[in-house]
Structure 1
């Protein structure tokens, strides 16, 4: 205080200095207001000897107002008011304001993208010349960048006040006496309050207080506050995610009620149970709003004479104070009033200090845009041909008001476009291209929630429907795809067109591009290919149906004509049967009429009442898998200028009921042959054979002429004739000569014609029906078996094996082997067609090195017989593969056969090939898998799957030809480093390997492989193959080869990864002290592996999963805390490595103990020994998991 007194003389208490000004003011009186989160304002009256002060001498000048007590205020003069002038002096009033007040003189519209609130505020402050020393962010939180922050018709001051208040950041002013400037501290927590401000609580003396600073005359106000703030918002990016948050901040205030705030601006709900929720989450805003409510629950007012009091301080009154002052008062507003002839009066407003919540600025509502704003669609390329969209179908736009020169395509955030119809990957979306004018609307008027409301035409993009064509309704795309509907009366038409191939569907009054009439009715045309397809049936008719009256499928006229002609043909058939001629298959036509044409089931019916013509510039073909029938009430005429050929696979019959059968040739011979049977000519009346030249009869063995009982027989070395009555010979002379013979002219006849049978559905050569539906192969039935039967009933089974080089091997493991030698083997393989074999094909057991890459190894036959010439290979680490061919081969099967069911009860190659392409499964009635028996030996087991069970679908896969290795390969869809299965059609030359190669191939010592029905769960089965593995763990495929390979599909089943060695990994889950481990085994995915068990097993190597299972339960036995949770009987089992029994309600059939479940299927890449992939489940829950049932 003494230092300050040295600066002044006399009674002057206050000084005002205006920089760079000749004005010398003498302070008369003043009023100052300082508050949190707003610029300060000091109204100061002064007198001066100078009259008529020019405003530029004062305005926008830095000034400092100092008090004798030590307080200094540095700011900018923003207002000057002349009050009066006398002979001696002039009286003025000026306003000294914070530099931030100057932001109130800049009002604009602006867009900020991908910036946080502090970043935007700093950008605005720096734009107004404030530098680093002028402001400081003291933030305890990290604020995320926002997609969009919009300034709309606000001053820069209003803008930063609003966005800072939105996130609860307050600011206070600090005077920098060194630079003579006001500075600002922006903070968001109590940690940045100004503490250690203490004053005695005592009212000053009425006469003289000795300049002692104090506070006095306290007043308090307490209000009821809202008890809970609930927020909810909607975010279309996560449309189904709950966005609710409810927060109630602990405080001493009296609270009640609930404040529900909808459409608060946040992207995620946040954790409303946390005292520090995620910044700018729903819980964050709910807490922020509740803190504002609590700020209003208590207010405190004090008087003081201390000039150094300022907002942002925590004042601690000393002495005997009321309860409201004991923790301190956080100052939010301080006003100062003084004069040349009076002492300083300070009025202080604040709120009780608390650590439970912080001061928050009053929320300032966002500006509202009630309508729309003009904008243009913007692409990264100017005049882009196509729409610029993101993965959600959103657009970028350039708002017309935005003056920032941003990079093209980045002027605004991605916007959704409102549409008349929308849904799950359905709706109406006509893409907008660069430059299109759109109207941007704002949800609830919120300036930060824009969307595209609609598009508009403008002078640069004129409308395509104007006064020149007001009757047209047109939807046209940039590529001129068009839907046009003309409403002009008498010329109505609809046109659906695309420029590609000028493909159009025109209906009604047809016009050309000039609007000239070019037809009436309907036209479907294209310059490209055309297809007309109807899966259930197609009726094409020229029968009239005036004014679109009548049923669409009114086929009565066409069917009546077909029925009438069928009846005529039936009469002809009866006549042909009586004449013992070849009957026509009229029955099939009648069946087709009744079953296909009348109900129009997958049939094409063409009808024209006055005629029909088919013409072709080149060729015309008529083909049918079964029958072609032509009926005519009059004549059928066939005329050709070239050859006319009639070819039949069986019989050819020609029958003329009343007229003659005429066969005449104008030029050239007539030749008739019965190449492999007899020929007969018969006539009820006279049979005449005549020639204008010679007639020759020749028979290689004999000729016999018979007439009325007499005969003449000519044969090799003998002529014989005879009669029962007289023999009359009338000749001029008879001559006898030496013996002679005339050789018969040899006629070369071809061997019997053979034909390959074709599949009537695919028109491809018929292939062996393969593995899909199960029963005895010889009988051809398709019912699932009900008794145990050998595998030979279903097909030819063979087992292959390969040496396993080391324990590390697995599918996808690579070995550093040179593959030059195997490639040479592959290239030397012969390109002969494979012998696909058949039901009676001899077994040709073959094994040879396979031309494989480093990821696959040679498979050697170790069980069964094989009749395909070629070599099977599999990925290294797969020791055994079982394969079956000729499955369900029934050579006599055929549709309509009374011996076996129709072929539609089997899968055929083309069907399986299509399933392999689409990844579908083929149903089957028998499947096979590998499992160790009770002695630890590897065995193959087969089971009947049962209709409708999860087991009846087996995966199909295409074998693709690898021309580099000369082999077929199958690589699973989920990928690996090489093929899983390979097949070389031919053995490399010079190879003659024995049935076993390598001492480490374990032989399969199994006399036969049996197929057993799966039990219905009523009885207990404890011996293999029961319990049957989960369907998800069966590792089998039907491999389908290309159509031109000649190789029939093969069913293979691989030794599963459960039987491979592995090392235990995973961390397990820590159980709480009171948690019962296996209580969760009957719900969800079951109970996880405890972390203490994972710690014991991690890093250990196991020969297979069964060995791991035993070790797992023994590890549980070694943990006393876990073991104590089981009964004594179960404890004994666990100590032996056996799974404990579940309660009876969770047992199913013979499955009574807890089971270990793989959460991610092994066939989908799930790790076998990863304990984080394992859980323990009851049998009932385990079954429900695989059936996809929830708890």
Structure 2
């Protein structure tokens, strides 16, 4: 802790044994003023720098505890003839024992202002929406500099003063600033340098006061010391009311004549940000810099002016030396007596270097080579010029990425982003902070971005990210990547090294498996258990499933199995049927059937909702229905099956194409051209024999109450008759009527002509393996004429059009049952 209380150290008086005037004294708080006698001193002070004095002293106490001296408040006073003195208050930041002799023990101390102790605070931190004035106040609290003043020469009740104008303070406010592994003193210094703010020290009776300033009009206007009088070596001695200047040098060198600052700001990406300023005393070249952190043209012009003023300070410099104590940094002095009259003017003191020595009491008569002397070197700036500090404090560069976590006030379930898709983070090096105050809004680097396109995966609060810094600048962070940790595990692990996975926070997932022989892609969502699977799986191929609704919508549709099956559906706006498909549909028809089929195609080509179903080759085609099923076709229904196709397994195929009925039986084609065709028993026996040669795969036959119906030729599109059979009972329904018998469970079948609807309950199974059959429990009712059977095996043809022998029918029934 810094002890600031109590009475200030008093000025050390001359040792009573020596009558000479003491030039330099050191008094430490808590020690007797006669404890230390200054032997030598060397010190430097400058604008925007803490002063430092190395002081060697002799003490008659050989057992001083160094730890007690470290951090002690002390005052070093430089005294001149005529009673003038200049105190330097501060803290002993170093203490060492360097030797002894018969009279003294010798110590070496380092005296610095309290501000210098900020270098002991080395850390990383972030600052949001902070002005330089706010930063000064926050930082100085750490060294207990809390009492503030607003005048250039503060009184005894101040630790620091800020003489910044209000408008200039607003210009220093930045949305984000990062202190990275640097001391608080270095961070404060480089921020002040960037904004053109400088400071000096005013010494009061109580202690030092650091004064922050950004304009010469706010500096002290009244000189603290006497005027400087040019007196080169060998000239007559100057009067004591003046500070003699032994040498005075003016230097002038090449200086850029203009400053150009360029910048890119993502918040104003379309703007060309550039600041221009002329250097008043510049003569050659341009100073061009990029990355000064501005996002408006006003800020660009302001910073360019600051840089030009700094270069102007270097164009013309004034240096002098003196053997008289006097000039003090930050204050004004006036030079007189120079042989070049234009140099006799008012100046600001920018820096002073002190060096002196004096004999210790009791040793003055013994040691003749140590004489009392003092010299100083100083630099000045014309009072009409504006001082700006040099950008000399190094800015840290962050070459590697640093860890952070997404920060915000939205909790763990709602990502918090701004209108530009940016995030706030909390840096690991910055420690704890209030939610949403860990950083400014940071952009997220993505693999793909552009005008109106790009990609974005939201980052939730708590997600660990790696932050990179553009050009290593700690004030230019950007989120480079997101990583997993022990709290947020990866979607991949050692059990799936070949698995590529993408999973959102809501459980939506895309997985790509690259294992040899098991390549697969799966897209899934937890809502309704929706899954799309491609490639390897329980049944390799393509699988789509959902616990709820599934809908497909398209302009055209085509389904094909090479060499086996092809189905095409298209809307009426375009004709999607190709010549090969038409040929496949009509292949095997007689010439008259093909003509009528093509006529039907042409007639229905402009109808709404054309539907074509073309089946080629032998295979298995299965449809299962539970509940009510409706087929509504507006247009044409075309079906061609190679092999044996039948609504019931009887070897007979009935297809309706715009009024054209035809049957294909194996490689024999039968044409129904609105006429009757008689089939012999031998024909049906041959059909059954052909059907038995196929591998059905699955065939369902109700043996409890089976009814078989064979369609003969269709003479009209109207319903001729409908019969429902149960044990011992027959019900006949006339053409165009609907049968509804509620007490005849379990089957109610309704067939209507015109809208082509088929309602079957509870089960309809269609198996096509060269032989196509449809079996419904209890009864099958079809258009046209029907054949039925009761449980006893009797067969009835209500409108017999096909002559079958009883033996053929019995054989047909036993064959069907054995196949089932």
TM-score by length of 2: 0.68
Tell me if 1:318 matches 2:317.
Answer: no
In 2: Cα distance, 1:93 partner to 1:206 partner: 37
- Which residue in 1 is equivalent to 2:406? 377
Tell me if 1:258 matches 2:286.
Answer: yes
Seen in structure 2, the aligned counterparts of structure 1 residues 670 and 39 have a Cα distance that, compared at 3 Å, is closer
Deviation at 1:613, TM superposition (A): 5.6
Deviation at 1:88, TM superposition (A): 1.9
Deviation at 1:671, TM superposition (A): 7.7
Tell me if 1:138 matches 2:156.
Answer: no
In 2: Cα distance, 1:572 partner to 1:262 partner: 83
| Matched-pair contact (CA < 8 Å) for 1:64–1:75 | yes
In 2: Cα distance, 1:227 partner to 1:447 partner: 31
| Matched-pair contact (CA < 8 Å) for 1:172–1:185 | yes
- Which residue in 2 is equivalent to 1:538? 557
| Matched-pair contact (CA < 8 Å) for 1:295–1:360 | no
Spell out, residue by residue over 1:905-962, the C-alpha distance to the aligned partner (whole angstroms, 9 max, x if none): xxxxxxxxxxxxxxxxxxxxxxxxxxxxxxxxxxxxxxxxxxxxxxxxxxxxxxxxxx
- Which residue in 1 is equivalent to 2:126? 111
- Secondary structure of 1:96's counterpart equals strand
- Which residue in 2 is equivalent to 1:32? 43
| Matched-pair contact (CA < 8 Å) for 1:217–1:303 | yes
Seen in structure 2, the aligned counterparts of structure 1 residues 568 and 331 have a Cα distance that, compared at 3 Å, is farther
1:1011-1160 matches, cutoff 5 A: none
- Which residue in 1 is equivalent to 2:499? 472
In 2: Cα distance, 1:387 partner to 1:560 partner: 59
In 1: Cα distance, 2:564 partner to 2:673 partner: 40
Spell out, residue by residue over 1:147-173, the C-alpha distance to the aligned partner (whole angstroms, 9 max, x if none): 222111111211111111110100001
In 2: Cα distance, 1:503 partner to 1:622 partner: 26
- Which residue in 1 is equivalent to 2:803? none
In 1: Cα distance, 2:610 partner to 2:420 partner: 43
Deviation at 1:136, TM superposition (A): 0.9
Spell out, residue by residue over 1:540-583, the C-alpha distance to the aligned partner (whole angstroms, 9 max, x if none): 2233599xxxxxx9966533233557975564489xxxxxxxxx
In 1: Cα distance, 2:583 partner to 2:597 partner: 20
Tell me if 1:171 matches 2:171.
Answer: no
Tell me if 1:195 matches 2:214.
Answer: no
Seen in structure 2, the aligned counterparts of structure 1 residues 359 and 216 have a Cα distance that, compared at 3 Å, is farther
| Matched-pair contact (CA < 8 Å) for 1:540–1:605 | no
Deviation at 1:21, TM superposition (A): 1.5
| Matched-pair contact (CA < 8 Å) for 2:426–2:433 | no
Seen in structure 2, the aligned counterparts of structure 1 residues 656 and 33 have a Cα distance that, compared at 3 Å, is same
Deviation at 1:314, TM superposition (A): 3.0
Spell out, residue by residue over 1:870-889, the C-alpha distance to the aligned partner (whole angstroms, 9 max, x if none): xxxxxxxxxxxxxxxxxxxx
Seen in structure 2, the aligned counterparts of structure 1 residues 267 and 184 have a Cα distance that, compared at 3 Å, is same
- Which residue in 1 is equivalent to 2:211? 185
Name the structure with the higher strand share. Answer: 2
Seen in structure 2, the aligned counterparts of structure 1 residues 525 and 302 have a Cα distance that, compared at 3 Å, is same
Seen in structure 2, the aligned counterparts of structure 1 residues 567 and 266 have a Cα distance that, compared at 3 Å, is farther
Spell out, residue by residue over 1:426-458, the C-alpha distance to the aligned partner (whole angstroms, 9 max, x if none): 322222223222111111111111111111122
Kindly report the root-mean-square deviation, in angstroms, between the aligned alpha carbons of the 2 structures: 3.5
Deviation at 1:623, TM superposition (A): 4.0
Deviation at 1:321, TM superposition (A): 4.6
- Which residue in 2 is equivalent to 1:222? 252
Seen in structure 2, the aligned counterparts of structure 1 residues 668 and 54 have a Cα distance that, compared at 3 Å, is closer
In 1: Cα distance, 2:86 partner to 2:335 partner: 20
Tell me if 1:47 matches 2:75.
Answer: no
- Secondary structure of 1:295's counterpart equals helix
| Matched-pair contact (CA < 8 Å) for 2:163–2:218 | yes
Tell me if 1:482 matches 2:509.
Answer: yes
- Which residue in 2 is equivalent to 1:15? 25
Spell out, residue by residue over 1:129-158, the C-alpha distance to the aligned partner (whole angstroms, 9 max, x if none): 101211111113123432222111111211
- Secondary structure of 2:493's counterpart equals coil
In 2: Cα distance, 1:241 partner to 1:545 partner: 64
Tell me if 1:364 matches 2:393.
Answer: yes
Seen in structure 2, the aligned counterparts of structure 1 residues 571 and 79 have a Cα distance that, compared at 3 Å, is closer
- Secondary structure of 1:519's counterpart equals coil
Structure 2 gaps, min length 5? 1-9, 148-157, 359-370, 566-575, 649-655, 659-671, 678-712, 724-730, 738-820
| Higher RCO (CA < 8 A, seq sep 6+) | 2
- Secondary structure of 1:226's counterpart equals coil
Deviation at 1:56, TM superposition (A): 3.4
Deviation at 1:364, TM superposition (A): 2.5
In 1: Cα distance, 2:601 partner to 2:35 partner: 127
In 2: Cα distance, 1:664 partner to 1:554 partner: 36
Q: Number of residue pairs matched? A: 609
- Secondary structure of 1:84's counterpart equals strand
In 2: Cα distance, 1:425 partner to 1:190 partner: 51
| Matched-pair contact (CA < 8 Å) for 1:539–1:605 | no
In 2: Cα distance, 1:469 partner to 1:266 partner: 49
1:523-602 matches, cutoff 5 A: 523-535=543-555, 537-544=556-563, 558-562=581-585, 564=587, 568-569=592-593, 571-572=595-596, 587-589=602-604
In 2: Cα distance, 1:6 partner to 1:101 partner: 25
Tell me if 1:302 matches 2:330.
Answer: no
| Matched-pair contact (CA < 8 Å) for 2:11–2:27 | no
Return the match for 1:424 from 445, 448, 451.
451
- Which residue in 1 is equivalent to 2:267? 237
| Matched-pair contact (CA < 8 Å) for 1:505–1:524 | yes
Structure 1 gaps, min length 5? 271-280, 511-517, 547-552, 575-583, 597-601, 640-645, 649-653, 674-1191
Tell me if 1:414 matches 2:425.
Answer: no
- Which residue in 2 is equivalent to 1:58? 69
1:891-906 matches, cutoff 5 A: none
Spell out, residue by residue over 1:446-484, the C-alpha distance to the aligned partner (whole angstroms, 9 max, x if none): 111111111112222232322222121111222221111
In 2: Cα distance, 1:618 partner to 1:500 partner: 26
Tell me if 1:352 matches 2:382.
Answer: yes
- Secondary structure of 1:256's counterpart equals coil
- Which residue in 1 is equivalent to 2:306? 288
Deviation at 1:378, TM superposition (A): 2.7
Seen in structure 2, the aligned counterparts of structure 1 residues 194 and 214 have a Cα distance that, compared at 3 Å, is farther
Deviation at 1:361, TM superposition (A): 3.5
- Which residue in 2 is equivalent to 1:161? 189
Seen in structure 2, the aligned counterparts of structure 1 residues 90 and 374 have a Cα distance that, compared at 3 Å, is same
